[in-house]
């Protein structure tokens, strides 16, 4: 399974966002974390994207970790966080057929 996490925040909140990011624990061994990638450094709002991959058997644990990781950013002024669940086509087809 995959979770795409997009976070946007004002340029004025870069320091607070970076301080929070630097204090994050590493992902558990059962999660592959890619990113974050950053866009908009010269704009008013900055956007980051991260990808978290994990086995379906660890969905609850992975979801708890991801939620906890991004809850830490909720104190950043005017931050927006979007967590999207993505599945492979085979899994989507199975769900649609059932």
Which domains does the chain show, CATH number per domain?
Answer: 2-97 (3.30.70.360)
**Residue whose structure tokens are 């660890």:** 58
Phi-psi region for residue 35, left (φ > 0), alpha (ψ -120 to 50) or beta?
Answer: left
Mean pLDDT in the chain? 94
Average confidence (pLDDT) over 13-37: 95
**Residue whose structure tokens are 């870069």:** 14
For 26-73, what is each residue's pLDDT tens digit? 999 999 999 999 998 778 999 999 999 999 999 999 999 999 999 999
At 21, the pLDDT band (50, 70, 90 cuts) reads very high
- Dihedral angle of Cα 76, 23, 64, 3, to the nearest 10 degrees: 80
Higher pLDDT, 98 or 65: 65
């Amino acid at each position: 399974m995959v979770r795409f996490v997009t976070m946007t925040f004002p340029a004025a909140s870069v320091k607070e966002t970076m301080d929070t990011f630097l204090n994050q624990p590493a992902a558990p061994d059962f999660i592959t974390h890619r990113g974050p990638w950053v866009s908009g450094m010269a704009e008013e709002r900055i956007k980051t994207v991260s990808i978290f991959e994990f086995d379906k058997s660890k969905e609850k644990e992975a979801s708890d970790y991801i939620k906890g990781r991004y809850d830490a950013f909720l104190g950043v002024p005017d931050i927006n966080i979007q967590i999207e669940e993505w599945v492979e086509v085979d899994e989507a087809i199975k769900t649609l057929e059932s």
